[in-house]
Copies of this chain bind each other. A is one copy, B any other.
């Protein structure tokens, strides 16, 4: 699991486009549609994508994570995690605790409520994934994934 990717928007303007534009536009548009869908279903469960991702990483780790380690997992900056955990803690989904080894560090731990919320999020997300999978056939699904792999670094 794990989602991530910010919103998205139009880019329907393929007017006077060379042969290239269409592909980039199509990728961004598809990603935007999926992300809005994910935001929508997660909202129904009381989570944002960012919050889900953070809890997901903590659960995957199986133990409390240092805020710095969590930032690494989320591929974002430490100060971002500080604020994200502020909001998660205010909502009772995560709890800050001291780090036994290093007194500079702070560890984030998922609460039982957080675990529950996460489970609901997983169900919601699987629904979206299944919906996308249904729209593509099983074969096209594989073909699409393969093609997209060539875009990556």
Flag whether A34 is at the interface (Cβ < 8 A): yes
Q: Does A147 contact B (CB under 8 A)?
A: yes
Number of residues on chain A facing chain B (CB within 8 A): 57
Oligomer: number of copies? 2
Residues of B within 8 A of A3 (CB): 11, 28
Taking A34-B28, A143-B147 as contacts, is the C-beta distance between A11 and B7 under 8 angstroms? Answer: no
- Asked if A123 CB lies within 8 Å of chain B CBs, one says no
Q: Which residues of B sit under 8 angstroms from A29, Cβ to Cβ? A: 5, 148, 152
Report if A102 contacts B (CB, 8 A). no
Are A24 and B132 closer than 8 Å at their CB atoms?
Answer: yes
A151 B135 Cβ-Cβ under 8 A: yes
Cβ-defined partner of A5 (8 Å) among B8, B12, B138? B8
Given that A30-B27, A144-B148 are contacting pairs, would A130 and B20 also be in contact in the complex, using a CB cutoff of 8 Å? yes
How would residues 16 to 43 of chain A score, 1 for a CB under 8 Å from any chain B CB and 0 otherwise?
Answer: 0011111110111111111100000000
A-B contact pairs, 15 of them (CB 8 A): A2-B12, A4-B11, A5-B6, A5-B9, A6-B6, A9-B53, A9-B74, A10-B75, A20-B129, A21-B129, A23-B141, A26-B144, A26-B145, A33-B152, A147-B147
Interchain residue pairs A-B with the least CB separation, the first 3: A6-B6, A31-B31, A4-B9
